[in-house]
């Protein structure tokens, strides 16, 4: 059995967190100097394991076995959210590297083809899941031409040129070259911690349905307009938010989540009755019938709110991701490995967050493993995981990778 | 009896609306070129009536009778809100000019001392009611040093220098020189129109109490954080808004109004549970006990909401204007004049909007007259009033001014 080098794993995770270090976390936006430095460092490490490394035209880093045999891709994304945690993405990337090294060093495993990968811009500084979408052929040059940085508006093309990637070809998946894809990630929630589990075997990645809901009232003077004749778009938005809070628990699934991330009132002045209110609302579930039910209830509540508040309403669905189911045999491989190490401390669970695995799964058999997030904290520089869990997760994924590759006829 | 020249009044109102004309309204921010042009034009008109005109150090334009006798100030503010209506402020300013002219031309009235005035920045491009506050001695140089333009941050000092007002002294009220102050204004609401009245005799100007209310929840991932453990600051804000909508009507006065003008959720991203929510909330009433009752209920609701949503709350009162009562004898003078012209179409009413009169009233006997706003529309370029009402309002104010001055012993 291949056994990882726990000290090396932890040391590499900490080395990787030096790229863009911020407090106890990292600030490593896609294509920043720190991000590109980290990708070049990864390519060097892949080469040192004897792999053929390259960075493709959107910054994905691949380490391909020189044997050319069908390999198992293992990785995650290398960049971070702004001023965020050290493990989100980096964990799966360094796991891929450590597993490749471990196999290379282990008698009887050196021939098992592991291909570590680090995707670019899963976090969407330019385009959410850009790297994995490029890999599966789900992005064209025109979309890349149009894309800009969400914070400062820098065109993606300019960022790619500054990163030295102009003219570099984008690597496209060749399904025959790969057995599949494994991704490890911190849970980013507290379900594992709260239930005393140390490994989550991801069954599916939730579908995210997102909406822009706009209410139109009548903008007017907040001092001279009698309450009785007001059409206050802000009151309409609050009314809808409360209707959702009351009704959704009755129709949601046990793992459904829903969030109003933004409310904007126009003109937003203290003495003006808002004439327009915009809400960004989303819900997530791993089951299509639940998503469809929540959609129907939401539309009904928007209509009711518009009637009740006498404000015209518009609802536009801006995202309709389908739930993505992980490969059953790969799930079993991860579960079997977990069961050997921690018989009573693993659980099958859906992922509430989106991940590159849901994109790669369109073309390759894919699965994911979660390890606990302390306090459920993520997307924040205080994000962390116990060292013992960091090590355990990597060993479980290593065992699963071995089982998958041997199952494929590798010896 | 002095009779105004209706054609001249309407023509001057339209001439004044040429300064910064925008669609059917005006864009004439304080100290803009258009605003200063309009003030210099006013000074010329005052001089042409035989008055001693000057523009003081904050842009107030005064036309003082050369006789030096105790005069009745009549006016309003000359600047406009951004891209707003042609009558807000301008109406009262041109009424002051027309009344001064009418008195000068009318046998037996030429000796009645009218002092037209145009205040600066009632609309608060820099400091709300700057001109009238400066006149009553309620602003010091340090506040002027600190003030900046609310839109572009230009220091008030720079704006004053560019307007040619650096080093020009600010005129301070000398109570013995003035009988009092009259201001005409469009209603900016629909109470007159809805009740079929053409003149409003203002009894008081409401107090505005304003609050910044902040809820602190826990910012977290909108996909991985179970509903059961969330502390969503946005939900807290919506909960408070609905609690206010339910409870305030039970405790408010018949003319109370309340408005949530802004809700800001942080970080405001679709996939992040808001960790902080800020609301700008205000209410207005003309009675102190009502204001105090609403304040107490608001604080109670904020506390209840914090408990219910498990989000910490902070409430800060940012404005505590006392209601301001208009001079009873001046009110009678306006009412008597209205009763002669339109026996069944005038009404006593509070003002829901703030006006320079509430500032001037601290040092001089003051009163206000309202004329209808078509559709109650104001702070918008479509703001308008029937010509017949524009003329009627000026004649009523003229008659009231004559009565007030003759009552003071002028003949």
For A358-394, b/e burial (b = at least 16 CB within 10 A) is: bbbbebbbbbbbbbbbeebbbbbbebbbeeebbbbbb
Give me the pLDDT at residue B408, please.
80
Across the strands, what pairs with A272? A221
Residues of B in contact with A243 (CB under 8 A): none
pLDDT of A408 above 90: no
Write out the binding residues of B for Zn(2+).
77, 88, 123, 185, 379
DSSP character for B321? P
- Which of A221, A263, A269 lies at the smallest CB-CB distance from B234? A263
Report the distance separating Cα A77 and Cα A123, nearest Å.
8
Across the strands, what pairs with A280? A212, A262
Give me the pLDDT at residue B402, please.
97
Residues of B in contact with A370 (CB under 8 A): none
Judged by CB atoms closer than 8 Å, whether chains meet at A376 and B225 is answered as yes
Strand pairing category for B220-221 and B272-273: antiparallel
Are B6-205+324-407 and B207-320 in the same CATH fold?
A: no
Domains in chain A: boundaries = 6-206+323-407, 207-320
How many percent of chain B have pLDDT more than 70? 100
pLDDT of B245 above 80: yes
Question: Is the ipTM, as predicted for this complex, more than 0.95?
Answer: no
Give me the pLDDT at residue B411, please.
62
CB of A183 closer than 8 Å to CB of A75: yes
Average pLDDT of B381-407? Answer: 97
Dihedrals phi, psi of B370, to nearest 5 degrees? -110, 145
DSSP string, B243-284: HHHHHHHHHS-TT-EEEEEEEEEES--TTEE-SEEEEEEEEE
B190-204 per-position pLDDT tens digit: 999 999 999 999 999
Give me the pLDDT at residue A1, please.
84
pLDDT of A155 above 90: yes
Report the distance separating Cα A3 and Cα A20, nearest Å.
30
Preceding amide of B253 cis, omega within 30: no
A23 vs B379, residue with greater confidence: A23
DSSP string, A298-344: HHHHHHHHHHHHT-EEEEEEEEEPPPEEPPHHHHHHHHHHHHHH-TT
Nearest residue on chain A to B270, alpha-carbon basis:
A261
Helix (H, G, I), strand (E, B) or coil at B218: coil
Per the prediction, chain A carries an average pLDDT of 96
Give me the pLDDT at residue B410, please.
75
Judged by CB atoms closer than 8 Å, whether chains meet at A257 and B226 is answered as yes
Average pLDDT of B361-380? Answer: 95
How many percent of chain B have pLDDT more than 90? 93
Give me the pLDDT at residue B207, please.
95
Average pLDDT of B317-334? Answer: 95
Q: Which CATH architecture has domain B207-320?
A: 2-Layer Sandwich (3.30)
Judged by CB atoms closer than 8 Å, whether chains meet at B238 and A245 is answered as yes
Judged by CB atoms closer than 8 Å, whether chains meet at A260 and B265 is answered as yes
Superfamily of domain B6-205+324-407: Zn peptidases (3.40.630.10)
Residues of B in contact with A245 (CB under 8 A): 235, 238-239
Average pLDDT of A5-26? Answer: 98
Q: How confident is the model at residue A309 (pLDDT cuts 50, 70, 90)?
A: very high
Q: Which CATH architecture has domain A6-206+323-407?
A: 3-Layer(aba) Sandwich (3.40)
Preceding amide of B5 cis, omega within 30: no
pLDDT of B321 above 90: no
A202-251 per-position pLDDT tens digit: 999 999 999 999 999 999 899 999 899 999 999 999 999 999 999 999 99
DSSP string, B170-213: PP---GGGEEEEEEEEE-SSSHHHHHT-SEEEEEEE-EEEEEEE
Average pLDDT of B82-86? Answer: 94
Report the distance separating Cα A87 and Cα A371, nearest Å.
11
- HEC per residue, A64-89: ECCCCCCEEEEEEECCCCCCECCCCC
Q: How many CA atoms lie within 13 A of A50 on its CB side?
A: 15
A50-79 per-position pLDDT tens digit: 999 999 999 999 999 999 899 999 999 999
pLDDT of A411 above 70: no
Give me the pLDDT at residue A410, please.
75
Strand pairing category for A324-325 and A71-77: unpaired
Report the distance separating Cα A297 and Cα A308, nearest Å.
16
């Amino acid at each position: 059995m291949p056994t990882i080098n726990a000290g090396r794993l932890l040391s590499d995770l900490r080395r990787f967190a030096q790229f863009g270090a911020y407090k106890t976390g990292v600030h490593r936006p896609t294509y920043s100097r720190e991000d590109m430095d980290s990708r070049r460092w990864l390519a060097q490490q892949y080469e040192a394991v004897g792999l053929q490394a390259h960075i493709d035209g959107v910054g994905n880093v691949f380490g391909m076995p020189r044997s050319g045999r069908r390999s198992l891709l293992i990785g995650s994304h290398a960049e971070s959210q702004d001023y965020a945690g050290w493990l989100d993405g980096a964990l799966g990337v360094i796991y891929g590297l450590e597993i490749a090294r471990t196999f290379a060093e282990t008698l009887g495993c050196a021939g098992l083809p592991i291909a570590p990968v680090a995707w670019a811009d899963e976090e969407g500084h330019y385009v959410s899941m850009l790297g994995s979408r490029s890999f599966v052929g789900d992005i064209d040059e025109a979309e890349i031409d149009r894309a800009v940085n969400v914070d400062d508006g820098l065109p993606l093309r300019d960022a790619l040129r500054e990163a030295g990637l102009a003219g570099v070809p984008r690597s496209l998946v060749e399904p025959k070259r790969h057995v599949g894809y494994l991704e490890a990630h911190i849970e980013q929630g507290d379900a594992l911690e709260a239930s005393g589990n140390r490994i989550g075997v991801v069954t599916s990645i939730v579908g995210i349905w997102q909406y822009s809901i706009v209410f139109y009232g009548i903008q007017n003077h907040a001092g001279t307009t009698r309450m009785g004749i007001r059409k206050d778009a802000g009151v309409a938005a609050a009314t809808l938010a409360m209707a959702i809070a009351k009704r959704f628990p009755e129709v949601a699934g046990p793992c459904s989540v829903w969030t109003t991330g933004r409310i904007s009132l126009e003109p937003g002045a203290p003495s003006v009755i808002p004439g327009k209110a915009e809400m960004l609302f989303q819900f997530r579930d791993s089951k299509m019938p639940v998503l469809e039910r929540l959609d129907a209830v939401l539309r009904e509540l928007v209509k009711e709110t518009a009637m009740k508040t006498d404000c015209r309403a518009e609802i536009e669905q801006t995202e309709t991701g389908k739930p993505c189911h992980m490969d059953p045999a790969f799930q079993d491989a991860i579960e079997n490995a977990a069961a050997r190490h921690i018989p009573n401390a693993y659980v099958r669970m859906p992922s509430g967050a989106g991940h590159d695995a849901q994109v790669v799964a369109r073309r390759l058999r894919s699965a994911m493993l979660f390890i606990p997030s302390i306090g459920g904290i993520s997307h924040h520089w205080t994000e962390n995981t116990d060292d013992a869990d960091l090590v355990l997760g990597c060993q479980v994924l290593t065992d699963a990778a071995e089982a998958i590759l041997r199952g494929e006829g590798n010896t």
